[in-house]
A and B are shown apart, each in its own frame.
Chain A
Amino acid sequence: MKSNDYVPELARIIDIKEEVEGSRSIKTFRTNFVNPNGFSHRCGQCAMLSVFGKGEAMISISSTPLIKDYLQFSILKTGRVTTALHEMNPGDIIGIRGPYGNGFPIDDWKGKNLIFIGGGIGLAPIWSVLQTALGKKEEFGNLTLYYGSRTSADLVFKEELEKLKSEMTVHLSIDVEEPDWKGYVGFVPANVTEKSPSPENAISITCGPPIMIKFVIKALQDVGFDDRQIYTTVENKMKCGIGKCGRCNIGHHYVCKDGPVYSWAELKDLPQEY
Chain B
Amino acid sequence: MKIQKILLGDKMEKILQKKTLPDWVNKLKNYQIIAPVQNENHWDFQILSDPSRIKLDYKNTILSPKKFIFPQREVFFRFRSDEQSSYDLQENLPEEKPAVIFGVRPCDARALTLMDKVFGGDMQDPYYWKRRNATILIGLGCNHPPSENCFCTSVNGSPFSREGLDIMLTEMGDTYFVESISKKGEQLIRQAEALFKNPKEADKSEKKQLKSRAEKEISRKIPNIKNIPSKLETMFDSDFWNEESLSCIRCGICTYLCPTCHCFDINDEIKSNFPIEGERVRTWDNCQFPDFTMHSSGHNPRPDRAARLRQRILHKFQYFVKLYQTYQCTGCGRCVSQCPVGIDIIEILNKVDAR
Taking Cβ atoms with an 8 Å cutoff, the residues of A that contact B are 1, 3-8, 10, 34, 50, 52-57, 78-80, 82, 91-93, 95, 210, 235-237, 239-240, 242-252, 257, 271, 273-274
Contacts and interface: CB of A to CB of B under 8 A. Distances in A.
A92 B287 CA distance: 35
B270 A53 contact: yes
A3 B1 contact: yes
25 contacts: A1-B123, A3-B126, A6-B77, A6-B280, A7-B76, A10-B87, A10-B89, A52-B79, A52-B278, A55-B268, A91-B85, A236-B293, A236-B295, A237-B296, A240-B266, A242-B123, A242-B125, A244-B118, A245-B263, A247-B285, A247-B287, A247-B292, A249-B319, A251-B318, A257-B123
Contacts of A8: 89
Given A6-B127, A55-B267, A243-B121, 6 more contacts: A8-B89, A53-B273, A80-B296, A239-B266, A244-B123, A247-B287
A239 B121 CA distance: 18
Interface stretch (B53-61, B132-140, B297-305): B297-305
A52 B264 contact: no
Contacts of A78: 296-297
**Shortest 6 CB-CB contacts between residues of A and residues of B:** A79-B296, A246-B263, A252-B319, A242-B123, A252-B322, A52-B79
Contacts of B287: 246-247
Contacts of B315: 246, 249
A41 to B, nearest CB: 16
B interface: dominant SS: mixed
Interface in B273-320: 273, 276, 278, 280, 282, 285, 287, 292-297, 299, 301-302, 307, 314-315, 318-320
B91 interface: yes
A252 B267 CA distance: 25
B119 interface: yes
Contacts of B118: 244
Contacts of A243: 121, 123
B295 to A, nearest CB: 6
B94 to A, nearest CB: 12
A1 B294 CA distance: 30
A27 B267 CA distance: 24
A52 B263 contact: no
A57 B77 CA distance: 17
Contacts of A95: 87, 89
A236 B301 contact: yes
B85 A92 contact: yes
A239 B265 contact: yes
Contacts of A34: 86
Nearest to B121: A243
B337 interface: no
Contact of B81 (A50, A52, A237, A240): A52
A235 B322 CA distance: 22
A3 B87 CA distance: 20
A270 to B, nearest CB: 10
Contacts of A249: 315, 319
A55 B123 CA distance: 21
A37 to B, nearest CB: 13
